[in-house]
Amino acid sequence: LAAVSVTSEPRSPSRAVNPDVTAQVEYRIVRNGLVREVERGKVQKIDVCDAHPELLRAARNVGRPTKEVCPICDDGRLVTVTFVFGAKLPPGGRCPGTAAELKALCRRPEPVLCYEVEVCPACAWHHLMRKYPAGGGKARRTKAAPGR
């Protein structure tokens, strides 16, 4: 089993975009273990630098740049790409291009599942960093007519 971290505090400092998120799964422990395996030579770079061309396109065009340097090539800057999947979204999910678009998707009445992936466009390293549920807010109740 892979080691993961789960948070469910309402105001966790690692909260990505939506403070209303009730739980998220962090994969940083798994990522750090994989990076150590590459550094030790147990896993080859070619085996971890294999991002799909669509993921690389999303990273270059709509990814959010970070200040973190790629742990594999030590050259490129990492980019965060978020994919949102849920009812009434395309089968391949939606990759929001702005923080406002991501917030709007996270506030949908239908529940969605968000996946944040870190990507190095320079060497094609990628790793799932976290996933979290969003949306599915309670429908607004309409006022009952007087006398009911």
> Scanning the structure block, which residue is given the tokens 């909260």?
15
Cα 4 from Cα 31, distance rounded (Å): 10
pTM: 0.75
- Per-residue pLDDT of 4-41, as tens digits, reads 444 444 444 444 454 555 678 889 999 999 999 999 99
Comparing CA positions, the residue from 79, 103, 80 lying closest to residue 17 is: 103
Burial class (CB in 10 A: 0-12, 13-18, 19+), 25: middle
Amino acid letter, residue 42: K
> Scanning the structure block, which residue is given the tokens 């990492």?
78
Say whether pLDDT at 146 is over 90: no
Q: For the chain, what is the radius of gyration of the CA atoms?
A: 18
Comparing CA positions, the residue from 17, 11, 25, 18 lying closest to residue 137 is: 18
Residue 16: Cβ within 10 Å count:
18
